[in-house]
Amino acid sequence: MALSLLVCLLFGFYSTRYLIVRAADNNQQPLAAAGRKPNIVFILTDDQDLHMDSLSYMPSLKKHLTDHGTSFHRHYCTVALCCPSRVSLWTGKAAHNTNVTDIGPPHGGYPKFVSQGFNEAYLPLWLQEAGYNTYYVGKLFNAQTVDNYNAPHAAGWTGSDFLLDPYTYEYLNATFQRNRDEPASYEGQYSTDVLARKAYGFLDDAMGDQQERPFFLTIAPTAPHSNVHIHSHKIDDEFTEKSVTQSPPVPAERHEHLFEDVKVPRTPHFNPDQPNGVSWISRLPKQNETVVEFNDHFYRNRLRTLQAVDEIVDEVVSRLDEAGLLDNTYIFYSTDNGYHIGQHRLQPGKQCAYEEDINIPLIVRGPGVPKGEMTEIVTSHTDLAPTFMQLAGAVLRDDLDGAAIPLTAVSLGEQRRTRQEHVNVEMWGIIMSEGNYGSVLYPNHTYKALRVLGEDYSFLYTVWCSGEHELYDLTKDPYEVDNLYHASKETTVDFGFLPSSGSTAGIPNNSTTTTSVHLSRLISRLDTLLVVLKTCKARECTHPWEVLHPAGDVRNLNDALSAEFNDFYEVQQERVYFTQCEKGYIAESEGPMGARSYGMVDEVAM
C-alpha cells in the first residue's frame, strides 16, 4: 500500500464537586443480579467520529450495543485531543483542572499526568478501593514511552498491557508492555488483533475471579487513529531531530478491500466554496480533487480499521454470554475525541470545537439500561469517572467536575428535565493535521468554547486567544457555517422563555408564545456562563448558574435571558478574553478568573 508520507518536522517530538449525589439519585442505578456488584467493560477507541457515520459501518456494535442499549447522542468530550481528553476521562476533571493540556511535555503526556499527582488519584485506584479487579489493554496516554513506562508504572491496574510510544500508532509494529514486564515488540503483527488476544486473556482472568471480585476492563485500541511513524535522527549528543509521519490508518489484510466506493459524507460544510470559521480556518484553501480523493481514501481506511474493533465487540459479548455474565455486566463504548475530514475545508484531524470533533459516540448496555433507545440528555467525558464509580458503589468524591450519567429509564427521564445543558470545551497550543496534505502546523489554536443544548435551542460560542469569536445557532445552522457573532445588531433569536421564578428547570414552555432576543443579549449570557466554566471546579462545573444566581432562580440559559438580568450580564460582567496566545494553561493570559454573582454586585464570586 502506498502510504504517502507527509512529514511534520518537529524538534524534540511533541515539543510541540462532582455533586455529591443527592439522596434522590442514590438509587438511580439498578443493583444488578441479586445485589452483586456489576462488571464493567469499557471499549475506548481513538479519534472515532460520530458525524461521518463511522458507527454505521460496525454491524456487531449495532447488534450488541446500540440495539441492546442506550445511545447518548449528545455526548461530548471537553477537550478534543487524545491525551488531555483521556486524562479528563480518567480523573473526572476538566482540562483546566488537570492542566494536562497537550499530548507531550511540557504541557501534557504521561509525564505531566504523573507530575500533576494523578497517578495517585484516578479512577482505577478508586475502583480498586471499591473492591474491583481492574484491567487495561491498549493506549492509556500519549508520551507513555519505552523509556518512561516504569518511572513510575501507571498505578491502579490489576492487569495491564499498554501500548507504548513511539510505537503506539504503528499498526504493524506495536510495542506493548505487560504488568511489570519489559516492553515487547510485535513487529509485523496487526496491532488490533494482538490487542484483542490480550483483552480476551484479561477477560478470562477477570471472569475466573469474579465470584470473589467484580471487574472493570478497558480495551483501548488505536483504531481508527492515523498510523504514526516517528523518525529519529541524531544530530549530535545533545540534539535529536524527530519527525512524524501521520499516514492513513492501516487495516487488517482481511479488511483492506472493503468499502471501495465509500466517501466522506458530502454534507453542506464539506469542502465548501466559501471558507468558514475564524483564525487560520478562515484562510484555508478549497481542496482540489487530488486532495479530496486522498482524504476519501484516508476515510475508508478508518472504516476498515474499525472492523477489527467490531470483531472485538462481538467476541467480548459472546464470551460474557457464554460465562453467564452478560446480564450483570455494563458495556460502554466511546472514543477519546471526534474527527473531521474536509468539513470547513479542514485536513484530517481534531482539536476544533466543531461538532465533528467534540460530539462523540457513547453507547451503553447493561442491567436496567433501556434497549434500543437514544437519549437527549447532555453528557461529557468528565461524567464517565463518576458514572463508573457510582456503578461500582465506590465512595463518591466531591472534587470531580462531572456528574454520573443516568442509566435507567426512570433516571434518564428525570434528568431530561434537570440535567445541565452545557458543555465547556477547551484547547491550547498548536493544531496538527494528518495525511498527505495536512503538514502545516497552526499555532495559536487556543480557545474557550461553550456548547449549549437546550430543549429548543442549540449554540456553539467560541472565544479565541486571537480575540476572534464564533457563534453558531445549530437549530438553524447545524453545520456551523454561518458565524452570527458579527451579524447585524438587529439580528434576533427566538426563545420560548418562562418567567425566571418558574422552577421548571429546563422544561420547555410549550405555549406557542416566543420571545425574540437580540444577539447582544444572548452573547452576554453565553459569555458570562463561559467565564464561570473556564475556571470552574467540582459542582460549579455542572451547576454554573448557581454561581451566577445563588438564589437558585435561574437554572438554564432560557431563565438567564430574562430582561431583568440585562444589566447584570451586559454591564456588570467582564467578558472572556486572552491577553496572549499560550501553548498551555497560563492563567495570567486568560482574562477574568471568575464572575460576579447576582445580588452581590460588590463581590467577586470566585
Ligand X SMILES: *[C@@H]1O[C@H](CO)[C@@H](O)[C@H](O)[C@H]1NC(C)=O
Q: Which residues are near ligand X by CB under 6 A?
A: 99, 106-107, 167, 173, 175, 185, 187, 288, 290-291, 437, 443-444, 498-499, 509-511, 580-581, 584-587
CB of 94 to ligand X, least distance (A): 12
CB of 186 to ligand X, least distance (A): 8
Measured between alpha carbons, how far is 380 from 362 in angstroms, rounded to an integer?
Answer: 9
Which residues are CB-neighbours of 422 under 8 A, at least 6 positions away? 378, 450, 451, 452, 453, 529, 533, 544, 557
Closer residue to ligand X, CB minimum distance, 492 or 515:
515
Closer residue to ligand X, CB minimum distance, 54 or 192:
192
Closer residue to ligand X, CB minimum distance, 147 or 327:
147
CB of 93 to ligand X, least distance (A): 13
Closer residue to ligand X, CB minimum distance, 419 or 445:
445
> Which is the catalytic residue, given 8, 77, 82, 541?
82
C-alpha cell at 583: 501553548
Ranges of H-type helices in 116-237: 123-129, 191-208
Q: Contact 466/484 with Cβ under 8 angstroms?
A: no
Closer residue to ligand X, CB minimum distance, 167 or 461:
167
Q: Contact 342/263 with Cβ under 8 angstroms?
A: no
Residue 558 one-letter amino acid: N
Which residues are CB-neighbours of 249 under 8 A, at least 6 positions away? 171, 222, 223, 224, 225, 226, 227, 298, 301, 302, 304, 305
CB of 15 to ligand X, least distance (A): 12
Closer residue to ligand X, CB minimum distance, 377 or 384:
377
Instruction: Write phi, then psi, for 8 (nearest 5 degrees).
Output: -95, 120
Which residues are CB-neighbours of 10 under 8 A, at least 6 positions away? 16, 242, 243, 244, 441
Measured between alpha carbons, how far is 54 from 304 in angstroms, rounded to an integer?
Answer: 10
CB of 25 to ligand X, least distance (A): 25
C-alpha cell at 480: 456551523
Residue 374 one-letter amino acid: M
Residue with cell 487524545: 82
CB of 446 to ligand X, least distance (A): 9
Residue nearest to ligand X (CB): 185
Q: Contact 560/506 with Cβ under 8 angstroms?
A: no
C-alpha cell at 576: 472572556
Closer residue to ligand X, CB minimum distance, 488 or 511:
511
CB atoms within 10 A of CB 99: 18
The CA-atom distances, in angstroms, between 560 and each of 141, 549, 577 are 39, 9, 21
CB of 543 to ligand X, least distance (A): 22
Closer residue to ligand X, CB minimum distance, 90 or 167:
167
CB atoms within 10 A of CB 64: 24
CB of 300 to ligand X, least distance (A): 19
Angle at which helices 191-208 and 289-322 cross, to 10°: 20
Closer residue to ligand X, CB minimum distance, 211 or 511:
511
The CA-atom distances, in angstroms, between 103 and each of 48, 100, 156, 226, 427 are 17, 8, 22, 15, 12
Q: Contact 130/389 with Cβ under 8 angstroms?
A: yes
Q: Which three-class secondary structure state does DSSP give residue 141?
A: coil
Residue 82 catalytic? yes
CB of 468 to ligand X, least distance (A): 11
Closest-CA residue to 160 (of 111, 109, 125): 125
Catalytic residues: 82
